[in-house]
Amino acid sequence: MAKKLLDEQDRNILDGLAKDARISNRKIAADLGITEGTVRSRIKRMENEGQVRITAMTNIARLRNPTLAYIWVEVERSAQCDDVAKQLAEVPEIGFVGKMLGRFDILAITLVQDNAELARFLHSKITGLSGVRRTECSLGVNFVKHDYRMSRIVDA
């Protein structure tokens, strides 16, 4: 079965869910002038096709000592980028892995409590991976804006 591309109606439904994932299908339908069944079936299709996943997200501003660690990874050879990214994606503590353009090949993001925990994590989980040439870290210490809607799928 071919996956359907997200259309304007799908994006409007996702906009409603991005603001509040607990919003009822009835409320979304009323806001958009469509039926509740249409909203329900479109959400179900998008979930089944892997286009959207509805989940709870931790508000990092509410954690006691939140420190987001941005781990920039340079691979030994560009041909190893996919393999290293897959290895990083399998590490449970890492919440984001992306292949990048620029100075580094990969960005991995994790949440740590302090620098000592970050050092232990890097040495035990990252630097020993096959294909990793070097890493550099940046720590997020003051979050001016964190818009959870940025996590939604954007159909180009």
CATH architecture of 60-140: 2-Layer Sandwich (3.30)
Average pLDDT estimate for 72-82: 96
Average pLDDT estimate for 60-74: 78
pLDDT in tens, 6-56: 899 999 999 898 888 889 999 999 999 999 999 999 999 999 998 888 877
Q: Measured between alpha carbons, how far is 12 from 78 in angstroms, rounded to an integer?
A: 39
Q: Measured between alpha carbons, how far is 66 from 74 in angstroms, rounded to an integer?
A: 25
Q: Whole-model pTM above 0.95? A: no
Contacts of 115 (CB under 8 A, 6+ apart): 139
Per the prediction, the chain carries an average pLDDT of 86
Name the residue ranges covered by the structural domains of the chain. 8-48, 60-140
Report the CATH fold assignment for 8-48: Arc Repressor Mutant, subunit A (1.10.10)
**pLDDT computed for residue 146 by the predictor:** 64
**pLDDT computed for residue 48 by the predictor:** 92
Q: Is the pLDDT of residue 156 over 50?
A: no
Q: pLDDT tier at 5 (50, 70, 90 boundaries)?
A: confident
